[in-house]
A = this chain, B = another copy of it.
Amino acid sequence: MSEHMTPEEFRAHGKRVVDWIADYLTRVESYPVRSPSRPGEVRAALPGHPPEHGEPFDAVLADLEHTILPGVTHWQHPSFFAYFPCSSSGPGILGDLLSAGLGVQGMVWATSPACTELETVVVDWLAELLGLPTGFRTDSAGGGVIQDSASSASLVALLAALHRASGGKIATEGITGRYTVYVSSQTHSSLEKAGRIVGIGSNNVRVVEADPDTLAMDPAQLRALIGADVAAGAVPAMVCATVGTTSTTAIDPVAALGEVCREYGAWLHVDAAYAGVAAVCPELRWINEGVHEYADSYVTNPHKWLLTNFDCTVLWLADREPMIDALAILPEYLRNSATESGEVIDYRDWQVPLGRRFRALKLWSVLRWYGAEGLRAHIRRGVALAAEFADLVRADADFALLEHHPLGLVCFRPRWPGLSDADAGAATMAVLERLNDSGELYLSHTKVRGEVWLRLAIGGPATERGHVLDALAAIRRFTRAVRDGRS
């Protein structure tokens, strides 16, 4: 019969795992960034049936090395420039390990007071670090909470917005009228997904046109669309402004959109999933212009650019009541005197799931290890490297640059003189495929005004100037190869 792992066995195996991770982080650059694994390859290498008898932990580590690792895309590789970074860090990993070790479930305050109270402290700290409104702090009517992702946070914001817009009716009666939500063509797909989940449907997630130059939501178009919808009987529940879109880090005019929200009583949600943490640098706080005056909710992801391993999203609200009213249900077995006293926060009412991990530990570890100055230095390095890369691309006649790159993302594309847009797009995708197949680096792409652009996102802690210069060299090399192949 297999036995439980004793604390002493855990001590020994745990140190081997720590060594394995330290070695992994040391050698991560030696792997192809994007896994070359083909569909089904990892699965085929694993047993078709579960083991009947227990196995030593070393067998897990051996299979991790030989079977799993070849199927891993190395998000911590210094030449990972795809999507947005999901930057891990030593203190983040260790904070997560402490959370796993304590094994605490913090669904309500009473099930582990420190899990709730440390979370309150670190989200308040982060609001201060980012210069967010004091109304977002927990000693006001608002407050912050850690979620697993910006998708979930935006869903919670939408539920609060619908609750407010319906005067609480939706919680009991469900959706009985037409409620609308406003996004731009550049808004993250999670907002449409949230619209489906809450039962208003994609049709009522109304897409406002973006300015063709800035790719920011056009307040005049928003006003016109809301006006028409209201005239047709719809209730405008929420507008989602994005600070730093996924595609190009476009920044919506929060204040101007907020004015429209006020006119129509709509909730203003600000999705700053990627960009929000950049506000740790005072010189970048302009990205949040209008947030203080107008935002009902705001979300950013320390797990993207702030060195805290996934998952760690923070959602703040200016008024926590509609959210709690929308989500709170108190079954008998969770009744307790602390909850009834009203003196404590029960974060289960601030999220979709009931259970919650002690995620505050990793954010706490990161904020303390780096301090405000360390976090600012990290963001500034990323911004400077992106600016340098953009300068080099701009100076190269073979490439076009999207001039808007205020943060760590640069969008650019090879020029294909004489090719149609469609052929140029295919050629750019061919370059991307060769780049990513090479394993030297990993980029992603987007479409802007019908053209395919490459996205290079800088932000991992291991990425240095040399990696960015090497990336440009590889991009030039593979662009030439595609060009030569076509001629």
A354–B433 Cα distance when bound, in Å, is 24
A467–B41 Cα distance when bound, in Å, is 47
Is A103 touching B365 in the complex (CB atoms < 8 A)? no
A-B residue pairs in contact (CB < 8 Å), sample of 13: A2-B371, A10-B18, A14-B18, A37-B113, A39-B341, A40-B343, A50-B125, A51-B372, A55-B368, A93-B97, A151-B353, A171-B202, A332-B445
Q: How many copies does the complex hold?
A: 2
- Tell me which of A55, A100, A447 has the highest count of chain B C-beta atoms within 10 A of its own C-beta: A100
Given the interface pairs A2-B370, A377-B1, the reply to whether A444 lies near B333 with Cβ below 8 Å is yes
Is B96 touching A97 in the complex (CB atoms < 8 A)? yes
- Does A480 sit within 8 A of B, measured CB to CB? no
Cβ contacts A4-35/B at 8 Å (1 or 0 each): 11111111011101111111111000000001
Is B310 touching A89 in the complex (CB atoms < 8 A)? no
Is B4 touching A49 in the complex (CB atoms < 8 A)? no
Binds B, one of A116-124, A223-231, A253-261: A116-124
Is A25 touching B39 in the complex (CB atoms < 8 A)? no
Is A149 touching B353 in the complex (CB atoms < 8 A)? yes
- Does A446 sit within 8 A of B, measured CB to CB? yes
Given the interface pairs A22-B7, A102-B72, A247-B332, the reply to whether A54 lies near B309 with Cβ below 8 Å is no
A46–B129 Cα distance when bound, in Å, is 16
A112–B34 Cα distance when bound, in Å, is 8
Chain B residue numbers with a CB within 8 Å of A117 are 40-43, 46, 71
Chain B residue numbers with a CB within 8 Å of A353 are 148-149, 151-152, 190, 311
Nearest-Cβ distance from residue A212 to partner chain B, whole angstroms: 17
Q: Name which residue of chain B comes closest to A9, CB basis.
A: B90
- Does A86 sit within 8 A of B, measured CB to CB? yes
Nearest-Cβ distance from residue A245 to partner chain B, whole angstroms: 10
- Does A104 sit within 8 A of B, measured CB to CB? yes
Given the interface pairs A42-B113, A92-B100, the reply to whether A373 lies near B52 with Cβ below 8 Å is yes
Chain B residue numbers with a CB within 8 Å of A105 are 75, 83, 86, 310
Chain B residue numbers with a CB within 8 Å of A470 are none
A114 touches which of B2, B42, B159 (Cβ 8 Å): B42
A195–B159 Cα distance when bound, in Å, is 12
Chain B residue numbers with a CB within 8 Å of A343 are 39-40
Given the interface pairs A54-B368, A198-B197, A353-B148, the reply to whether A18 lies near B15 with Cβ below 8 Å is yes
- Does A203 sit within 8 A of B, measured CB to CB? yes
Chain B residue numbers with a CB within 8 Å of A11 are 18-19, 22
Nearest-Cβ distance from residue A436 to partner chain B, whole angstroms: 9
Could you list 15 further interchain pairs (A-B, Cβ under 8 angstroms) beyond the known A155-B352, A198-B198? A5-B91, A11-B22, A24-B102, A35-B114, A39-B341, A53-B374, A72-B115, A73-B113, A88-B101, A151-B354, A170-B196, A171-B196, A190-B353, A196-B326, A247-B332
Given the interface pairs A41-B113, A93-B97, A368-B54, the reply to whether A172 lies near B201 with Cβ below 8 Å is yes
A372–B1 Cα distance when bound, in Å, is 10
A15 touches which of B15, B178, B445 (Cβ 8 Å): B15
Chain B residue numbers with a CB within 8 Å of A368 are 51, 54-55, 59-60
Nearest-Cβ distance from residue A6 to partner chain B, whole angstroms: 8
Chain B residue numbers with a CB within 8 Å of A6 are 90
- Does A357 sit within 8 A of B, measured CB to CB? yes
- Does A461 sit within 8 A of B, measured CB to CB? yes
